Structure formats: structure tokens, C-alpha cells
Amino acid sequence: MQEGFTFKVTEKALEEIKKVAKENNIENPILRVRVVPGGCSGFQYAMGFEEKVEDEDHVFEYDGVKVVIDPFSMPYVNGAELDYVVDFMGGGFTIRNPNAMGSCGCGGAC
């Protein structure tokens, strides 16, 4: 892990990650969080379950859930927080990132 790096996962997000993992029969969830090219800003967030951790990954553990972030994505998500929010449109994961210049409806960091 890089010194001074922070990435938070809220209790609500942890609950939802565990729920989705259980529904998909994933016993030891490894959630990959990454930044990929695309979206209206040039980058967007992507998340999904992995079967293994790669050697170059940075691994963070939150109450039995491993969160892995690749070296390319690290500077883009430093200081960010993964949350799960429910509103009148339904529920979903969101990343609050103080480093993003702005945000837009496509889920990127504009």
C-alpha cells in the first residue's frame, strides 16, 4: 500500500457488497475498483468481483471484504469513498472523490 493513500468503504457499501457476494455464492469477496478510459470526462469508475489478487494490486480489507486497486487507478481514487445510496430512483454504488474536478450524469469525473 502506498504511504498516505486512503480509500474508504462505508458500512452501507460493505453490507451491499456482502449481500451481492452471498447472492452469487462468492465466499471470500474480492472487489476490484478501478478507473478506466471512457465516459464524458475521459475516465470512469468500474467495479466487479475478482477470483484472485494480482501481484501488482494494492489490497485493502474491510470486515472480511478485500478491495483491490491496480497501480494505474491508485492516484485517481486516493482519498475517495465507496458508498451505497438509495434514493427515489433506486439504489446503487457511488464513489465520492474529492480529487475529481466535477461529476456528471454518466458516472465519470468531469
- CA 48 centroid distance within chain: 8
Coil, strand or helix: which one is 77?
helix
pTM of the model: 0.81
Lookup result for grid cell 498516505 = 4
Q: Residue 65 phi/psi, 5° resolution?
A: -105, 125
Percent residues over pLDDT 70 in the chain: 85
All structural domains of the chain with their residue ranges? 7-96
Does residue 109 register a pLDDT over 50? Answer: no
**CATH for the 7-96 domain, from 3.10.560.10, 3.30.70.380, 2.60.300.12, 2.40.128.20:** 2.60.300.12
Q: In the structure, what pLDDT confidence band is assigned to residue 40 with cuts at 50, 70 and 90?
A: low
Q: In the structure, what pLDDT confidence band is assigned to residue 41 with cuts at 50, 70 and 90?
A: low
Does residue 23 register a pLDDT over 90? Answer: yes
- Give the model confidence (pLDDT) of 56-105 as tens digits: 999 999 999 999 999 999 999 999 999 999 988 888 999 998 877 654 54
